[in-house]
Amino acid sequence: MNRNLLILALSQIFSFTAAPVTVFLSGIIGSQISPLISLSTLPMSISVVGIAVGAIFATKVMSLVGRRIGFISASIGNFLVCLLAAYSIKDQNFFLFCFANFFLGVGMSFTHQYRFAAAESVEKNKIPKAISIILLGGIVSAFMGPGIANYAKDIVGEHLYVGSYLALGILTIIPTIFFLFYKNTSKLESNIKYSGRSRLELISQPRFLQALVASAFGYAIMTFLMTATPLSMHVMEKMSLSKTGLVIQFHVVAMFLPSLVTGYLIKKFGHSNIMYAGVFLYSITIAASFFDQTFFNYMFALIFLGLGWNFLFISGTSLLVLTYKEDEKFRAQGLNDFIVYSVHAIGSLSAGVLIALTNWKTMNIICIPLMVLIILTTLRAEILSKKNPDN
């Protein structure tokens, strides 16, 4: 644990609260102020679109001005956007709320760069562990974010949930203080001519593609089911908001708690085996959908959904950073995150429509082809790497 890694881990706790709060509240708020029930998850989906759009922007900004200024700017930006979201809820303006969520997503695209910054702060053999340490902050975020948002939801008179976003704004501005002490470790591109491979050459590598597919479709499956969960539980099954929030909180804990051992498991068993394990954990979630939709069934399914995501995302990210050279990192990271969060956005955008048109069991079955794709891409990379170890 060095200074930069400590700063990133602490900042993750506060910055990442935007993610569980968005999952917890945006769909519910959307269902109350949107013109159509099918548009309820649009704010959540728009935030994911913001992450995808912001991915390349975030890496470009940090390649020019450094991670320190980039992270500070994102923290301040998130604070201002939370104020805008609070105003949109007070004004009952659905489209302004969607606009605010889009830019909250752009801010989160900078937060998602914490894992790459962590990888740069340690030796290569410690990268999985460093990424795991950063993601562990999500455990605290999972409880602190929704907990404070729920506590603050009615502090502004009759305007429910306005206080939630005011509180979120305070949480997301705190990392600004931490990053004042952050030290840039990367050379900036402003005075360096790029001499690395093209995006097409990067993505044509079997290992790069394996890492990308594991992260992208692992994230798509997770967000597809997670986005639909509050609507399925609270709106359709009439379960309480507290029960819905508890399921989301334990889901997010399951996303990050395995990070205590995931880095060790990757080092011991290899990236590919952990990816296979992640797909297996997803299959347990899907199997649970064939039983009655009770509170405990949702809890069970969402916990295994979180565990599967952890294995796929950490193994995918830690494998990715081994597939490019130093001068290619910003291009490779931007390409990876743009594709990962674009697929993530498609999963989120389609969740609201499909849960309204189908049911929870069908939503789970739809995920099976994506799981097969992860397995096939991983098998292909394994076969090709044995024939050509340099790939």
Provide the domain count of the chain.
1
In a domain, 186, yes or no: no
Q: What is the pLDDT of residue 49?
A: 85
Q: What is the pLDDT of residue 230?
A: 82
Taking Cα atoms as reference points, which of 72, 79, 74, 22 lies closest to residue 47? 22
Distance separating alpha carbons of residues 7 and 70, to the nearest angstrom: 14
Read off the tokens for 112.
Answer: 């998602």
Query: What length does the chain have?
Result: 391
Show pLDDT as tens, one digit a residue, over the chain (391 residues). 689 999 999 999 999 999 889 878 888 898 888 887 767 778 887 888 898 889 889 988 988 888 999 999 999 999 999 999 999 999 999 999 999 999 999 999 999 999 899 988 888 888 888 988 888 887 888 789 988 998 898 898 788 899 999 999 999 999 999 999 998 876 665 555 666 788 889 999 999 999 999 999 999 999 899 888 888 887 787 888 778 878 887 887 898 889 889 989 998 999 999 999 999 999 999 999 898 888 999 999 999 999 999 999 999 999 999 998 888 888 898 899 899 988 888 887 788 788 888 888 999 999 999 999 999 999 999 999 887 766 6
Q: Using CB atoms within 10 Å of the CB of residue 387, give its burial: 0 to 12 exposed, 13 to 18 middle, 19+ buried.
A: exposed
CATH at residue 333? 1.20.1250.20
Amino acid of residue 291 = F
Q: What is the pLDDT of residue 36?
A: 79
In a domain, 188, yes or no: no
Inter-axis angle of helices 206-230 and 42-65, nearest 10:
140
Q: What is the pLDDT of residue 44?
A: 81
In a domain, 352, yes or no: yes
Which structural domain range is residue 298 located in?
3-180+197-387
Taking Cα atoms as reference points, which of 35, 40, 43, 49 lies closest to residue 353? 40
Q: What is the pLDDT of residue 161?
A: 92
Q: What is the pLDDT of residue 389?
A: 67
Written as one string, the DSSP assignment of 6-56 is HHHHHHHHHHTTHHHHHHHHHHHHHHHH-SSGGGTTHHHHHHHHHHHHHHH
The angle subtended at Cα 54 by Cα 52 and Cα 57, nearest 5°, is 130
Distance separating alpha carbons of residues 225 and 200, to the nearest angstrom: 31
Which positions ≥6 away from 101 have C-beta within 8 Å? Answer: 22, 26, 43, 44, 46, 47, 50, 85
Read off the tokens for 388.
Answer: 């050509």
In a domain, 41, yes or no: yes
pTM beyond 0.85: the answer is: no
Amino acid of residue 389 = P
CB crowding 110-142: b at 16 or more within 10 Å, else e: bbbbbbbbbbbbbeeebbbbbbbbbbbbbbbbb
Distance separating alpha carbons of residues 43 and 23, to the nearest angstrom: 10
Q: What is the pLDDT of residue 148?
A: 92
Distance separating alpha carbons of residues 169 and 265, to the nearest angstrom: 36
The separation between CA 105 and the C-alpha centre of its own chain, rounded to angstroms, equals 10
What is the end-to-end Cα distance of the chain in Å, rounded? 31
